[in-house]
Homo-oligomer: A and B are copies of this chain.
Amino acid sequence: MQHFLTMSDLRNDEILELLEEADAFSKGAQWKTPEPVFAVNLFYEPSTRTKCSFEVAERRLGLELLPFEVGASSVLKGETLYDTVKTLQSIGVRVVVIRHQEDEYYKKLAGNVELSIVNAGDGSGQHPSQCLLDLLTIQQEFGTFRGLNVCIIGDLVHSRVARSNACALQKLGATVKCSGPVEWYDPTMNIDYISVDQGVREADVVMLLRIQHERHKETAHLSKEEYHHEYGLTVERERMMKPNSIIMHPAPVNRDVEIASCLVECGRSRIFKQMENGVFVRMAILKAILQKEKVVC
């Protein structure tokens, strides 16, 4: 593939192939690009996990990374994303990993550039590498997606993770239901909504979403304590979960809001496992790009 932009672009067999490759990396498989390839991580929004994780993946594959801080670049002089990407292409960059605040920013780029674009999050759109790492974590746990009950709880409307995950999990045979404050229901998702208590009781996977304080124009009507009580994974709710069911969260966690702080590293939690897997799925994505297109310069 030339670009990696959305989960909806991928067929089931392509998803499963990426997961297989990622799982192999998680078990110690090695692969290096045979010739030097320059890559840039172009993050217009703050990130720790995704950016560092791509960085580790890129280094493990032997890519050469150019540092790029948007706040010290010509973006300050008004340069557009298109012109920045074309510039990077001109100086020899072959892979650009982009996080940008604009939904579907990649539509202006994809047909007009020769380098490869990896979407690391577009506005309130998708976050497909996060989706893949969530899928890998679930697959490692249960071996399959078919018949699993997944409950996604929280800030659905602002979440790139919810949309990508719900779509992919359904395609792969899981039953996905959502929960959380009614005003955060996402009218674009074709999904059943249930109460948090019911979701927590039924689910094999309880997937919590971060409240994206930075994307809310108005403060929510609930205090943090009230949110935690009404929609969070409290210590009491965790006790209602099925045996062998797991807790996921894309992080960063708002402790004692979406989830009780003491549950972040509890036995059911796969939150730090998800981060580990992030490196492996990103290695798989980049390998697929480097192998199937002649991006090696």
Contact = CB atoms under 8 A, between A and B. Distances in A.
A272 B86 contact: yes
A73 B46 contact: yes
A43 B230 CA distance: 37
Contacts of A74: 46-49, 251-252
Interface in A65-81: 66-80
A266 to B, nearest CB: 14
Closest 9 CB pairs of A and B: A90-B275, A48-B74, A79-B252, A48-B73, A46-B76, A90-B272, A74-B252, A53-B91, A90-B276
Given A55-B66, A252-B79, A72 B88 contact: no
Given A55-B67, A69-B72, A84 B275 contact: no
27 contacts: A46-B71, A46-B73, A46-B74, A46-B77, A48-B68, A48-B74, A48-B79, A49-B74, A51-B73, A52-B66, A52-B68, A53-B91, A56-B66, A59-B64, A69-B69, A70-B72, A71-B71, A77-B210, A78-B252, A78-B254, A83-B253, A87-B251, A87-B275, A90-B273, A90-B276, A91-B276, A91-B279
Given A77-B214, A89-B272, A92-B279, 11 more contacts: A46-B71, A46-B72, A51-B72, A51-B73, A52-B87, A55-B67, A56-B91, A56-B92, A59-B64, A59-B66, A83-B251
A242 interface: no
A87 B279 contact: no
Nearest to A50: B74
A47 B64 contact: no
A121 interface: no
A171 interface: no
Contacts of A69: 69, 72
Interface of A: 38, 40, 43, 46-49, 51-53, 55-56, 59, 64, 66-80, 83-84, 86-93, 210, 213-214, 251-255, 272-273, 275-276, 278-279
A292 B52 CA distance: 27
- Interface majority SS on A: helix, strand, loop or mixed? helix
Contacts of A71: 46, 71-72
Copies of the protein in its oligomer:
3
Contacts of A77: 46, 210, 213-214, 252
Contacts of A38: 56, 59
Nearest to A46: B76
Contacts of A214: 76-77
A125 to B, nearest CB: 18
Residue with the greatest number of chain B CB neighbours at <10 A, chosen from A48, A75, A77, A251: A48
Contact of A252 (B47, B83, B93, B213): B83
A60 to B, nearest CB: 8
A75 B48 contact: yes
